Amino acid sequence: MSASLPVIWLTGLSGSGKTTIAKGLSQRLQQQGLRTAHLDGDTLREGLNNDLGFSDDDRMENVRRAAHVARIMRNGGAVVICSLISPLESMRQLARGIIGEGFIEVYVNCPIEVCMQRDVKGLYAKATAGHIDDFTGIGSEYEPPLEPDIDLNTVEMSVGECVARIEQALSNRTAHS
């Protein structure tokens, strides 16, 4: 039964809204009586993945570890919500392969110009000033998903609307299983 629980994989640029949407979705699902777990890229890099840098190989390893943890948590009975930039299609395909059934790719779609305006951590400013190498969108490529399961335009949609869109997709998925 636990393999039928979803792993919701939020991908997008820094500042696109991944973590905010993940927290809102987790709260809504908990209100419905579901057990959730949120794996956030920044939090993972503070602990489990603090030995990794930002080369493509290290980013791939970051995604691999996160996907394995997500699968374990899902198999333990939680709806898992992952908010990781996971910038390359190959990385997201790796995660999909590890997680298997129930992987839902959500593209948190926001233009880099808007992400730069939302830059509460000042990372884009540091990257454009040359103080951060390999920052996704500036010194390192971000490949938008080719066919995400859900595409959320966070310029046009509120956090609540984004959460509701994911909830609806989960409801439709459950109805068709």
Got the DSSP string for 51-94?
T--SSHHHHHHHHHHHHHHHHHHHHTT-EEEEE----SHHHHHH
Instruction: State which amino acid sits at residue 42.
Output: D
User: Of the listed 14, 83, 86, 140, which one is catalytic?
Assistant: 86
Q: What is the pLDDT of residues 78-118, one digit of tens each?
A: 999 999 999 999 999 999 999 999 999 999 999 999 999 99
pTM score, two decimals?
A: 0.94
Say if domain 2-172 classifies as CATH 2.30.110.10.
Answer: no
The yes-or-no answer on residue 86 being catalytic is: yes
